[in-house]
Structure formats: C-alpha cells, structure tokens
Copies of this chain bind each other. A is one copy, B any other.
Amino acid sequence: MTKDRLYLFDTTLRDGAQTNGLDFSVEDKILIAGILDDLGIDYVEGGYPGANPTDDAFFKEKRTKKATFTAFGMTKRAGRSVENDPGVQALINAASDAICFVAKSWDYHVDVALGCTNEENLEGIAESVKATNAAGKVAMVDCEHFFDGYKANRAYALDCVKTAYEAGARWVILCDTNGGTLPHEITQIVEDVLTLVPGTHIGIHAHNDTEQAVANSLAAVRAGVRQIQGTLNGIGERCGNANLITLIPTLKLKEEFADQFEIGVPDEKLVELTSISRGFDELLNKAPDRHSPYVGASAFATKAGIHASAILKDPQTYEHVDPALVGNHRKVLVSNQAGMSNLIDELKRMGIVVEKSDPRLVDLLSIVKEREAHGYAYEGASASLELLARRHLGSVPEYFKIESFRVMVERRHNANGDLVTLSEAVVKIWLDGEKLMSVAEATGPVNALDLALRKDLGRLQGKIDDLELVDYKVRILNGGTDAITRVLIESRDGAGHRWFTVGVSENIVDASFQALLDSITFKLLKYS
C-alpha cells in the first residue's frame, strides 16, 4: 500500500518565540534550525523578517539544507500594491524558500484589527500569494482565527481558504489561534473545508488551551489535512502550540497513523528524539519535564509494586511503545543492565575499549549514577564524562595541582563617586614542584577566575593558548539561593575542536571552576 505523505511544519522559531519569557538570539535560531533540518522537518519557519533586527539578520542567509526555509509575515495591506508594501517586499527579499502569510479569516478581526473591508482582505491574500509565486517562492497562508471565524461567518472563512488556494498557495493552514476548539469540532469543520479544497493543500495549526493541541492535530489529519504545524516541546504563547515531540512518535509508531502516512523523519532520527527534546530545554535553560510523553525521564518509569514483577516478564504489555525507539529507556529495571550497555557504547565512542566483564565498569557506572543523582549532567558534557572514565581507568596524568583559589567581588563608589563593581581572582597551582600564582581582574567573578587560571600554566601555557570559551550556562537545580548550581561550559580551540564540560556545587564559583578545570585538562589530554 502506498502511504500518504504528511508534512511537518515547525514554528518553534516564530510562534514558539512568543512564549512568555523566551528570547532567541540569532545564534540560537541558527542552532535550532540545524536541529530541525537534521531531524527531517519539512518546513522550518524562522521568524518574521522586517519585524525586528534578530529576524532580519537570521534571514540574511538560507539556514537549512533540506527543509524548506520559511519566512512569516502579513499579507499586503489594503490600499497599496504588493510592490509598494514594505512588509511584503521584506518577505520576498528575505533569503527564504517559502513565505507563510498570516491572513485574517474571521470577518470581525478584518474589521477591528485590520480596519479594511472583507473584499480588501481577500484581495490582500490573493495578491500576496501571487507575488510570492512570481518571485519563485512557495506560498502558504495561515488562516488566523479560522475555527472561530468559521463559527461566526462560515461563508467568509471559507472564502479566505478558497481565495488563497485559487491564487496558488501550496498550503492553506487552518489556525485555531485562540486554542479553544475541541477535537470533534475540528473534525466537522475540516471535513467541510475539504469539500472545497483538497486535503493535500490544507494544514492544521493548533494551540493547547484545552490540553488538546495534539488531539486536535491528529483529528485534523484523520479528517484529511496533510500538514501539521507545531513546535519543539510544544512551546508557544499561552499554553503552547501542538507538540511535535509528541506528534512525531505517535505518527511513526501508532499503527493507525504509521500504516497510512509517511513523514520526513526517518527511524534513525526518531531515536534521537529524547536527546533533541532535552537538549532544546537545555538551550532554553529550562528543566525538562520528567512527565513528557515519550521523552520524559519518567515517561517509562513504573513505581507500582503490583506491576513491578510482571513488567520484568514482558515489558511490552506494560508499555504503549518501546522506549528505545525514541531514545528513552525503561526505568523499572532494578538491574543496571540498560545503563551498562549505554556506558559501554559511550566509552566506545570515546575510543576507550573495555571488556564487558571488566569489574572497573561496574564501579564507573555507580560513580556516574551517584554524580548524576548529585546534579551532574553528563549527557551534555561528554568531555567531563570522558575525563571521569579515563581517570577511573587510570589514563589521565595530573598535569598540575590546584593549591587554592580566591575570588572577590566588590561594589563600591570609586574616586569619582560612581558605583562600580569589580572582580578579582587569585589562583595558585603546583606544576613540576613549583608554585605558580596568578591574579586577574574582570567584571564578573567567573571571567576573572578563568583569566587567572589560564594566565600562567608554565611550560604547558603554549598548549592552551588557543583555548576559547564559547558558551557558559548556569542552572539552579532546586529553589533558593543556597541551591545546587550546575555549570556547563562549551570550549573550542584553533583547530576547530569543540568540547563540553560540567561542574556542580552549592557554590556557583566553585561549579564554574570545576568546569573550567575540566576544559583545560581535556584540551591538554586530547588536543595538544
């Protein structure tokens, strides 16, 4: 049986960016677009060129290889031509493959928000789509407030869809902008739309205001639409958008969908879903939700005593899907078997070959687990894990020894009466029997510490001169100012190597120092 192609449209970088408290930089956007492209998403919507400097910079270049790189913006304004509408021109001139226009499809909003006539709005849709096609780009139209608009004025909402389709839009997307539409309403309304426009041109854009964005998206697919819009981890304004991280495995693993549909995400990418989801939270500096479907740390964890013995006999009868398929794992297993094979895999990737029966492995695994329970996150800090493993297996020299460090932060009035804040760090190390002492100043305490630590490594200094800190992330692991702090550091060198280290302490300066120290040691061990 040939399967229908179902298209995934990611709007993490546009509608997702509306999330309360979230602010993507251009670098964040480039990183996320790359992840989505790799995953096999069909359309990556990157933002709104012309609306702010970040999106302007992001759309200076095409940011995807396979995915259709999509810009978002408004349709042509009433009373001017497409050529004289700077908004539309910014979209056409952006380095994107496609434009997704947002168009009002609720007559009330045409009047109140746009202040134009219904006909002018339709004309704006048609002309914007035509100009996009004329520019050789893919045209899409997001019908904003479609479902509420349909309930208020069915004929006009349908006119908007038809106008977009007939003007040549590749996709017309039905948006549940306020998020309050229920699955059975979605089914009925989509079926009505499909009497006018083929489903292969219709998409769904759902919000989670009744906790049914996933259900609404699937109901629309079952009713016949062939494009789903959503975001990573379901981020988005208010209660969020449809969660692609939940939808992807459901579409690929549930027979009802997998037998009928094909999506662009291959099986070998599906197993990366857990790490993509958690890595994305990491980027947002957010603790991953342990209870997330498929990818949460507890998604396959069983506590129930009455289940515990039976689950060991036949786990599949207690799990709706095999956790390994999405890169997650079962948690009821008391044995460390799963952790052990993970660890051996990980070591192999580092080039460390150990016999499966080597007793040091059992120790190493329990050290890793103990440290992770204390707050270390080796998933995002493989250089620190490698150092831990190699130290345990006895192959990391002690290049130098830390005697002590001290950091002082002071805020006071200077001679001119201005309030100034200054940090000063002193680091003392032993190298080849000699005590080396360095002091450095900077605005922040960690920066000062970093400068002092790398200022004088004696005969090793030449080997770390090209080391550079790329990123520095702090996570507070539990509430209050006396909480455990985790610091993740990304480093690189002149040869283009990149590595990640972690430090954990009740003291943020101490945690930073550990991660800095691991970074230098790793550089000396591997890249010098």
Does A317 touch B at the CB level, under 8 Å? Answer: yes
With contacts A20-B301, A408-B406 taken as known, whether A112 is within 8 angstroms of B479 at the C-beta atoms is no
Within 8 A of B (CB), among A135-177: 145, 148, 177
Within 8 A of B (CB), among A156-211: 177-185, 208-211
Smallest Cβ distance from A209 to chain B, in angstroms? Answer: 5
Give the CA-CA distance A368 to B444 in the complex, in Å: 24
Does A299 touch B at the CB level, under 8 Å? Answer: yes
Within 8 A of B (CB), among A72-96: 74
Interface-side segment among A126-134, A234-242, A272-280: A234-242
Measured between beta carbons, the chain B residues less than 8 angstroms from A348 are none
Q: How many copies does the complex hold?
A: 2
Give the CA-CA distance A1 to B78 in the complex, in Å: 47
Smallest Cβ distance from A507 to chain B, in angstroms? Answer: 4
With contacts A211-B243, A380-B21 taken as known, whether A178 is within 8 angstroms of B446 at the C-beta atoms is no
A469 contacts which of B299, B445, B481 (Cβ < 8 Å)? B481
Measured between beta carbons, the chain B residues less than 8 angstroms from A474 are 285, 474-476, 485, 508
Smallest Cβ distance from A450 to chain B, in angstroms? Answer: 5
Does A300 touch B at the CB level, under 8 Å? Answer: yes
Q: Which residue of B lies closest to A180 (CB)?
A: B320
Give the CA-CA distance A486 to B284 in the complex, in Å: 13
With contacts A182-B254, A210-B254, A299-B209 taken as known, whether A410 is within 8 angstroms of B405 at the C-beta atoms is yes
Give the CA-CA distance A237 to B318 in the complex, in Å: 12
CB <8 Å contact, A320 and B482 = no
Interface residues contributed by chain A, number (CB under 8 Å): 123
Smallest Cβ distance from A127 to chain B, in angstroms? Answer: 20
CB <8 Å contact, B246 and A210 = yes
CB <8 Å contact, B444 and A218 = no
Give the CA-CA distance A12 to B405 in the complex, in Å: 42
Interface-side segment among A39-47, A302-310, A355-363, A520-528: A302-310
A18 contacts which of B52, B238, B304, B377 (Cβ < 8 Å)? B304
Does A509 touch B at the CB level, under 8 Å? Answer: yes
Measured between beta carbons, the chain B residues less than 8 angstroms from A225 are none
Does A214 touch B at the CB level, under 8 Å? Answer: yes
Smallest Cβ distance from A241 to chain B, in angstroms? Answer: 10
Give the CA-CA distance A112 to B317 in the complex, in Å: 10
Q: List 25 A-B contacts (CB under 8 A).
A: A20-B379, A178-B317, A178-B319, A180-B254, A181-B320, A182-B250, A183-B183, A211-B211, A212-B215, A402-B411, A406-B408, A407-B408, A409-B509, A411-B513, A421-B505, A444-B481, A446-B481, A446-B508, A447-B482, A469-B479, A471-B479, A472-B481, A474-B485, A479-B490, A508-B508
Task: Kindly list the 8 A-B residue pairs having the minimum CB-CB distance in the complex, ordered from nearest.
Answer: A180-B320, A215-B215, A404-B412, A443-B506, A20-B298, A447-B481, A474-B474, A409-B509
